[in-house]
Structure formats: C-alpha cells, structure tokens
Amino acid sequence: MTKMLREGEEADAEVTWEDQQNINAFSKLNGRLEALDEIYQEKKKEKEYLEDLTQELELADEDESVKYRIGDAYVSITLDEANERITAENSELSTELDGITSKMETINKEMAKLKAILYGKFGKSINLEK
C-alpha cells in the first residue's frame, strides 16, 4: 500500500500531520473496500444459488413435501412454504447487496478524492495502487 521511502530517495515534500491523516484514511478505506467486496461476492453467490433453487422447484411436484434445511436439521414443508421462504430470503439478500453496493460507491468516491490530493502533493514518491 503506502510505500516507504527507500534509502537514497529523498523526500521532496515534507510529510505533515494532515498528509499522514490522509494517508491513513486512504489505507483504512482501502481495507474497508476489500472487506466489503469479499462479503459482496459471498452474498452474490448465495443469491445465485437461491435463484437456481427457485427454478429447480418449479419442476417439483406440488403434492410432495420439500425437505428444507432450517438450522442444522431438515424439515418437511409444503412446496408453497418452501417458495415463500426462498422469496423472503432472496429479498433480504437483495437489500443487503444494495446496501453493500452503495457503501462501496461512497468509499470509492472518497478514495478518489484522497488519491487526487496525495498524488498532487507527493507525485511519484507515493504509490496508492493495488
């Protein structure tokens, strides 16, 4: 992330407390973004599974019960009940995903701002890319 100056490289610009705070903020945001991205990918996969499940259940026999996993056990419930549970879970996931996306957007914007400031001041003596 933030690169230290190597021996022989001169710090052209003096690092002020404000710069340091900007650097720290940038590093913090970067960490947050990575954590969010991980959660996002996980939830997205879960949502895909649920969508597969919905398609699968369309072919199921209406009179037969579905064994649905709740907690650590399987429970036999009707097809309607299973579909209800899936729809509820799906919409919950969608809201969570939306929340994560908007958070990531805000972070990206803040990071772009900090990048402009820091590159403006330090130029090549700082490396803010992944």
Partner 1 sequence: MAAVEANPRGIPKAPFVANVDEYQATETEATLKKFQEMIAKYKYMENNNLQRKKSLESKIPEIKKTLDMVNFLISKEDSDEPIQTQYELSDTLWATAKIKSTDTVNLWLGANVMLQYTTAEAKDLLISKLSAAKVSLTQVDEDLEFLREQITTMEVNTARVYNHDVKLRRLAKAQKQAAGGGDEEERD
> Per the structure block, which two tokens stand in for 48?
């895909």
Minimum Å gap between C-beta 55 and partner 1 is 23
Minimum Å gap between C-beta 17 and partner 1 is 5
Nearer to partner 1, 67 or 113 (CB): 67
Look up residue 70 and give its DSSP letter: E
CB-based contacts of 11: which residues, under 8 Å, 6+ apart?
5, 125
Q: Which residues bind partner 1 (CB under 8 A)?
A: 1-2, 4-5, 7-11, 15-17, 20, 23-24, 27-28, 31-32, 35, 65, 67, 70-76
Look up residue 1 and give its DSSP letter: -
CA-to-CA distance for 22 and 115, rounded, in angstroms?
9
Give the C-alpha distances (Å, rounded to integers) separating 80 from 15, 50, 60, 69.
Answer: 64, 15, 11, 15
Minimum Å gap between C-beta 41 and partner 1 is 16
Nearer to partner 1, 54 or 65 (CB): 65
Nearer to partner 1, 55 or 69 (CB): 69
Minimum Å gap between C-beta 34 and partner 1 is 12
Give the C-alpha distances (Å, rounded to integers) separating 21 from 8, 28, 85, 126.
Answer: 25, 10, 47, 14
Nearer to partner 1, 35 or 116 (CB): 35
